[in-house]
Amino acid sequence: MPTPTVGVVVNPAAGRDVRRLTGSASVSDTYGKRRAAECVIAGLDAVDEPVDALFAPDSSRIGQRAVEETDRPGVGVLDIEVEGTGSDTRRAAAAFREAADAVVAFGGDGTARDLAVEIGDVPVLAVSTGTNNVVPTMVDGTVAGAAAAFVATGAVSADAVATRHATVAAEVDDGRSVRGLATVGLVDRSFVGTRAILDPDDFLGGIVSRASRGDIGLSGIAGACTQLAPIASRGVALDLDPDADRTVSAITTPGVVEEVGVADWERLGPEGEWTFAVDEAVVSADGERELAVQDAAVSVRPVADGPRIVDFDAVFERAPTIGE
C-alpha cells in the first residue's frame, strides 16, 4: 500500500494586505510561514507509522525552502507551475485530490476558498495566517502536522472529524457569478481597486455560510442577528444600511468593534435566494472585491458542495492513547 501522504499549501500573500495598516491584525511574514511549514513536518512524527509530506511550490519559495531544510525522508515538492496567483492553490488542490490523504493549508478564507475549488473529498486542515479569517483556525504548525497525520493514516477517522462546509454564491443577471466559502457581499464601490474591504459602511449586504458573534466581518454582523453553523445548503442573507433604525455591535476587522445598521436579514434554506437591485457595486468573496456591477440584479444563495474541513479539537479528542 502507498505511504499515507499529507499535502501542504502555504499562501505567501496571506496576512499581508492593507488591513494591517488600518486594524490590529498580526503580521504573518515569509519567515514565520516557513517556520510553521517546517513544524508540520515535525508534527508527522506524532503517529507511529511512516507519513510522507508533499509541499505545493509557491512564488516566495516557502514550501520549497521547508523541503530543502529537512533531512526527513518522504518529503518532496509537488511538480506544478507557479504563477504567484490564487490559481497556484487551485492547481495544487487538483494534484492533492489524487496524491494526498489530508491537506494542511496556511492562509486565510481566500486561500481555503481557492483550495475548495479543486480539493474534492480530501480532508482540509485550514490554518490561519490571513486577516479576517472565519474558516481557518489559529493553531501551531506542529499541531497541524500531527492532526493531519492522524487523519491521513486513519488513526482518526476523517468522517468523524471533518464536516462538509457550506459555501455561498452570488449570480449577476448578466451571467457572471462569484463563489465564497464564508461570505459573499455587495460593496458600495464602483471599481475593484484595492481588494481588501476596509469600511463596514461600504457593505450593502450579502450572504454568509456561517454566523457567530465570535466571527470577524460580515459573518460577525450576521452572528449578531442569529447563529448558524456551516452546514450544507444553509445561509444568512443581510441587507445593511448605515441609516437603518436597527444596529448591531460586531467585530468588523481585527481590533475594531463597530455599530452596523441592519435593515433586514433572513435565514435561507436549500432553495432560498435573496436578490439585490444595485445601481453600482462590487461583489466581494471572503473579504476581497471580485466583480464590478452596474444597474444589475444580484442574487445570493447558499450552495452545498464545500470542502471537508477538519476540526482540530475533534481530532485530538479521538487520537489513540496508551490506555487503548
> Which residues in the chain are classed under CATH 2.60.200?
167-303
Q: What is the enclosing helix (H) or strand (E) of 259?
A: strand 256-268
**pTM of the complete model:** 0.88
- Written in H, E and C, the secondary structure of 303-315 is ECCCCEEECHHHH
Q: What is the mean pLDDT of the chain?
A: 90
Cα 213–chain centre separation: 18
Sheet of strand 203-208: strand arrangement = 177-180, 167-172, 288-303, 274-285, 183-187, 203-208, 235-240, 256-268, 247-253
Residue with cell 503517529: 47
Q: What is the pLDDT of residues 185-224, one digit of tens each?
A: 999 876 654 455 556 678 899 999 999 999 989 999 999 9
Q: Quick one: CA torsion of 59, 305, 266, 175, rounded to 10 degrees?
A: 70
Residue with cell 432560498: 272
Nearest one of 201, 198, 174, 176 to 188, comparing CA atoms: 201
Quote the pLDDT of residue 20. 44
> Which residues in the chain are classed under CATH 3.40.50?
5-164+307-318
Please state, as a whole number, how many other Cβ atoms lie within 10 Å of the Cβ of residue 323.
4
CATH 3.30.70 fits 5-164+307-318, yes or no: no
Instruction: Tell me the C-alpha distance between 224 and 212, whole Å.
Output: 7
Cross-strand partners of 298: 172, 276
Quote the pLDDT of residue 132. 63
Backbone angles phi, psi at 111, to 5 degrees: -65, -45
CATH architecture of 167-303: Sandwich (2.60)
Residue with cell 531544510: 69
Q: What is the pLDDT of residues 256-296, one digit of tens each?
A: 899 999 999 999 998 899 999 999 999 999 988 889 999 99
